[in-house]
Amino acid sequence: MERLLGGSLAGRVDDADIYLEYRVNEELVLEENVVKKASRHVSQGAGVRAQAEARTGYAHTDDISLSNLEEAARQARAIADRATTSGVLAIPSRGRAHDLYTLAEPPIVTALERKLGLLRKIDAAARAADPRISQVIASLASEEVVMLIATASGWTIGDVRPLTRLNVTVIAEENGKREIGSWGGGGRVPFDFYLEDERWTRFADEAARQAILKLRAVEAPAGTMTVVLGPGWPGILLHEAIGHGLEGDFNRKGVSAFAGRLGQKVASELVTVVDDGTIPNRRGSLNVDDEGTPTGRTVLIENGVLTAYMQDRLNARLMKMTPTGNGRRESYAHPPMPRMTNTFMLAGQDDPQDIIRSVRNGLYAVTFGGGQVDITSGKFVFSASEAYLIEDGRVTTPVKGATLIGNGPDALVRVSRVGHDLALDEGVGTCGKDGQSVPVGVGLPTIRIDGMTVGGTQV
Amino acid sequence: MSGETIRPELLTDVLGRARARGATEADGFLIEEQHFSASVRLGQVDTVKHSREQRLSLRVFAGKASAAASTSDLSRDSLERVVDEATALARVTSEDPHAGLPDPNDLITAIPDLELAEQGGEELSPEAKIELARRAEAAALESDPRIANSEGAEYWDRRARYVYATSHGFARGYATTAFGLSVSPVASANGEMQRDYWYSAARHRAALEEPASIGRTAARRALRRLGGRKVKTTEVPVVFDPDTAASLIRSIAGAASGPGLYRRASFLLDRLGKRIAAPAVTIVDDGLIPRALGSRPFDGEGLATRPTVLVGEGVLESYLLDSYSARKLGLRSTHHASRDGAGVGVSTTNLMLKAGPTPPEALIGSVKNGLYVTELIGFGVNGVTGDYSRGAVGLWIENGELTYPVEEVTVAGNLLEMFGAIEGIGNDLVLRDRTVSPTLLIGRMVVAGN
């Protein structure tokens, strides 16, 4: 390793590293109570990176032989030719790595028979939940990633990352009408996580309940109204409305709607948002990020004031800030970028029921599908999959899925109530950026947002 | 970069080993690709990436039970492990009467030359590739003083070889090349910023649009978004530009795909032979167009590619099926199997809605009050019900003219109703990507804003 970095990358670069990865994925899918898919994938490879000023050279190979690594290093360096700095700068490591997910039995090694047995029980439970359930698809994904990073400044760090996710999708049918319901969870946890507190039963019941509920959902309203978001997964609001906009790369380039706004008020004073990669066993947590920096707890917005960006090493260096442990990559085939880990809003004072009672007419949204943001204009969307009308302070009729749209820099200014019921999501989130997917977490207490646009069809 | 280093015998050896381990039949894919990309931002090199990858994917059958495995490590030890893992997995999975390879007699015999790989084209130096990206971005930056920032421009190319083989002795392959150039400029005025982009992609480098032309188009798209505002919530005609209209076609293809149908998770279930769109709508999938990005000589199960009419004059004429979903539905494969490490799915080739007679200006001109959509964001499409609600960006149409830019609104409806309400089809179809459409006018949709 040292020979490679010393010989191949010497001189004229500001930062350099080698990332080695060995990954095993297993996917089991049960449909119609038949195992429809059983697959196992192994990938291994190395990514070599050299950086000079704002330039990055990245080469990767899935053939980890020394000659291939040397060739990759040579290609990575080719770009560093016109750098002005000479020699590699030492990057100070910020504190110790964590130990957030050492498991006695990682999910990837648990016997297939136990896993398939659970999927069969889920199938039965979801069908038993209601006679209108016509299809059940239960899937279990297990993964283990072993990574090792060596940097040119001389330190080496490794991490073993277990990850699992259980998903239940059902189709409900009634009078020729069909609907879909889905629920799931997981994290950097052992297989037995699903058996604790009968979690698997809850996932099956919840998927069935969602589908049945939608069978009687009415057209969603269209237009601007007061929206109450429930706790947990609706935290995707934060991920889209402000999370991406606070990633270091977009701010260094000045293309984020939040660029140059550190220290300014960007949210209601009820709002404090953190990105925390150090919560044990969470899907978005990491002992170290994919550049070897220990993860941390970064307060992004404190009482409404923008306090920090999320940084990887490159953008921290160029912005003269400190890396925050947010440099992440999908695999060895991708260079790292600033990414979120677990992003959530801290709890407030209000009783959730009081928050709902405070709304005369509006929308109460508790479960969401995906979201997306245009970081430059700040416009973001996220799609509700379970939502209800609020009429005279009471939650009433379920409505069909609808996209909610807003403007990042002012959406959180409109937060007028924050509940005391902070919850993190169940562990299903995957974030996409520039073609790279990474597992993330979100969280939210019940909140009220005044004046949000709901994209239904009922004018 | 031109070396044909792929080793089909690796794959046939693995299939033979699977048989020896007790598999009744097996098939597999070997993919080898080389990728280069260079991005430039504000005239300076930003990121240069270079890679070489290979992957072997294997599917084995133990009678009517099957399993899949794949690896990027093609060493002998690793390949032996893949075979062992796949055959072990197949033993614990359930029997499925519909599982199995296609009939060997149905496999492709003669591979058509679709010119999917550039032959003997001069390989550009990395500096020359970087220069293409630089010229594209420079054209955007120079086109207007309000374009003062950029997310950069990127050039990329990819050379790949595929081999598909079965344990019956079938082994065929083909090579592809692809090239692309894109630019994402940022326009700003009065404290407001807007980003947009434009791109070109092609199988042969010479077919790429001129860098300066890509840059100017990207700049024009970003500039026209400046001053965007919400509109009052209303129900109006909506005109989708070719790029956003293509996303609607993709949703129809998704709902017509076998896996969603046999799971009863599609709004096109039981609609075969029925009207699902206005009579002027014809959607075809044609994977045999020479040099097109979506073309392939055969599908992921070795079945010869052939054109399929998905929707003919408004009637759903065919689903899109691989052999498994076809057997489940009591139909025949339409040769749309796609392959990834996890197994077999369905994918389209070159999917297009046929051009109509009307210039796009005339479609816009026919609208008194409505929205012209140029970008859609979010995932608000329900494939089971067809319910549709997405974030939109565009321009407001007043008395047949494009007026001010619109943002932070949603467009909502139901895909079946939307396709039924197509009142105009543009004559501006260009096969510039895998899924394309001309401009479409939909009679009525709900636009939510203030």
Rounded Cα–Cα distance for residues B43 and B46 (Å): 9
Rounded Cα–Cα distance for residues B40 and B136 (Å): 10
**Average confidence (pLDDT) over A40-69:** 84
Rg (CA), chain A: 23
Dig out the tokens for A188 from the structure.
Answer: 């950097």
pLDDT at residue B21, rounded to an integer: 92
Nearest to A447 by CA among A185, A210, A268, A303: A268
| A40: contact with B, CB 8 A cutoff | yes
| A72: contact with B, CB 8 A cutoff | yes
Q: Testing the interface with B: which of A110, A383, A386, A407 to mutate, by most B Cβ within 10 A?
A: A383
> A96: pLDDT confidence band, cut at 50, 70 and 90?
low
Q: In this complex, do B50 and A75 lie within 8 Å of one another by their Cβ atoms?
A: yes
pLDDT of A400 above 50: yes
Pick from A254, A257, A377: which is nearest to B407 by CB? A377
Q: Testing the interface with A: which of B29, B34, B48 to mutate, by most A Cβ within 10 A?
A: B48
Q: In this complex, do B449 and A38 lie within 8 Å of one another by their Cβ atoms?
A: no
Residue A303 burial (CB < 10 Å; 0-12/13-18/19+)?
middle
Q: What's the gap in Å between the CA of B110 and the closest CA on chain A?
A: 32
B residues 256-315 lying closer than 8 A (beta carbon) to A: 263-265, 269
Rounded Cα–Cα distance for residues A290 and A145 (Å): 11
Spatial contact of B76 and B10, defined as CB atoms under 8 Å apart: no
Collect all residues with Cβ–Cβ distance below 8 Å to B94 and sequence separation of at least 6.
A33, A34, A35, B65
Collect all residues with Cβ–Cβ distance below 8 Å to B298 and sequence separation of at least 6.
B107, B108, B111, B164, B172, B304, B305, B335
- Least confident range from A5-9, A412-416, B332-336: namely A5-9
SS3 label, residue B42: coil
Pick from B233, B342, B408: which is nearest to A223 by CB? B233
- DSSP-derived letter for residue A240 is I
Q: What CATH fold (topology level) applies to the domain A2-215? A: PmbA/TldD fold (3.30.2290)
Write out pLDDT tens, residues B36-52.
Answer: 999 999 999 999 998 88
A residues 410-449 lying closer than 8 A (beta carbon) to B: none
| A370: contact with B, CB 8 A cutoff | yes
Secondary element (H or E) of residue B245:
helix B242-255
| A454: contact with B, CB 8 A cutoff | yes
Q: In this complex, do B73 and A62 lie within 8 Å of one another by their Cβ atoms?
A: yes
pLDDT at residue A72, rounded to an integer: 67
pLDDT of A260 above 50: yes
Rounded Cα–Cα distance for residues B7 and B241 (Å): 44
pLDDT at residue A84, rounded to an integer: 38
State CA A41 to chain mean position distance. 22
Collect all residues with Cβ–Cβ distance below 8 Å to B201 and sequence separation of at least 6.
B178, B179, B180, B181, B208, B293, B432, B433
Exposure b/e, B363-377, CB count within 10 A at least 16 = b: bbebbeebbbbbbbb
Nearest to B221 by CA among B182, B179, B180: B182
Tabulate helix, strand, coil % of chain A (nearest 5): 25, 40, 35
* Minimum Cα–Cα distance from A77: chain B residue: B48
Domain locations in chain A? 2-215, 222-455
Exposure b/e, B268-290, CB count within 10 A at least 16 = b: bbebbeebbbbebbbbbbbbbbe
Residue B415 phi, psi (nearest 5)? -55, -40
| B343: contact with A, CB 8 A cutoff | yes
Q: In this complex, do B233 and A38 lie within 8 Å of one another by their Cβ atoms?
A: no
Spatial contact of A420 and A347, defined as CB atoms under 8 Å apart: yes
| A67: contact with B, CB 8 A cutoff | no
- Least confident range from A63-67, A451-455, B186-190, B303-307: namely A63-67
For chain A, the average pLDDT equals 91
**How many C-beta atoms surround the C-beta of residue A218 within 10 A?**
12
Q: In this complex, do B391 and A455 lie within 8 Å of one another by their Cβ atoms?
A: yes
Ramachandran area for residue A187 (φ above 0: left; ψ -120 to 50: alpha; else beta): left
Chain A residues closer than 8 Å to B54 by CB = 62-63
List residues bridging with B175 in a β-sheet: B161
| A62: contact with B, CB 8 A cutoff | yes
Tokens 């009517």, located at residue? B64
pTM, rounded to two decimals: 0.93
Q: What's the gap in Å between the CA of B82 and the closest CA on chain A?
A: 8
Rounded Cα–Cα distance for residues B194 and B223 (Å): 7
pLDDT of A93 above 60: no
Rounded Cα–Cα distance for residues A352 and A422 (Å): 10
Say what the alpha-carbon torsion angle B424, B279, B237, A450 is, to the nearest 10 degrees.
-130
The DSSP-derived string for A149-182 is EEETTS-EEEEEEEEEEEEEEEEEEETTEEEEEE
Q: In this complex, do B410 and A372 lie within 8 Å of one another by their Cβ atoms?
A: no
pLDDT at residue A76, rounded to an integer: 66
> A2: pLDDT confidence band, cut at 50, 70 and 90?
low
Low-confidence residues of chain B: pLDDT under 50? 1-4
pLDDT of A116 above 60: yes
Write out pLDDT tens, residues B240-260.
Answer: 999 999 999 999 999 999 999
The letter for the amino acid at A320 is K
pLDDT of A87 above 50: no
pLDDT at residue A82, rounded to an integer: 40
- DSSP-derived letter for residue B216 is H
- DSSP-derived letter for residue A330 is S
* Minimum Cα–Cα distance from B127: chain A residue: A79
> A166: pLDDT confidence band, cut at 50, 70 and 90?
very high
Beta strands in B292-439 (DSSP E): 308-312, 315-316, 337-340, 343-346, 351-353, 369-377, 387-398, 401-414, 422-425, 435-436
Beta strands in A277-326 (DSSP E): 297-302, 305-306
Q: What's the gap in Å between the CA of A454 and the closest CA on chain B?
A: 7
Write out pLDDT tens, residues B70-84.
Answer: 998 888 888 999 999
Dig out the tokens for A431 from the structure.
Answer: 């974030």
- DSSP-derived letter for residue A137 is E
Map out the domains of chain B with their CATH numbers: 8-223 (3.30.2290.10), 234-247+355-448 (no CATH), 251-353 (no CATH)
SS3 label, residue A424: strand
Dig out the tokens for A449 from the structure.
Answer: 């947002």
Q: In what order do the strands lie in the sheet with B351-353?
A: B315-316, B308-312, B283-285, B351-353, B435-436
Q: What's the gap in Å between the CA of B21 and the closest CA on chain A?
A: 17
Inter-helix orientation angle B126-142/B211-223, to 10°: 40
* Minimum Cα–Cα distance from B342: chain A residue: A39
pLDDT at residue A15, rounded to an integer: 82
Chain B residues closer than 8 Å to A457 by CB = 389, 412-414, 446
pLDDT of A426 above 70: yes
pLDDT at residue A90, rounded to an integer: 40
pLDDT at residue A253, rounded to an integer: 96
Rounded Cα–Cα distance for residues A79 and A447 (Å): 48
SS3 label, residue B425: strand
Spatial contact of A118 and A196, defined as CB atoms under 8 Å apart: no
B residues 232-251 lying closer than 8 A (beta carbon) to A: 233-235
**How many C-beta atoms surround the C-beta of residue B214 within 10 A?**
26
Write out pLDDT tens, residues B118-147.
Answer: 987 668 999 999 999 999 999 999 999 999
Rounded Cα–Cα distance for residues A124 and A208 (Å): 12
Spatial contact of B338 and B344, defined as CB atoms under 8 Å apart: yes
Nearest to A152 by CA among A9, A336, A313: A9
| A179: contact with B, CB 8 A cutoff | yes
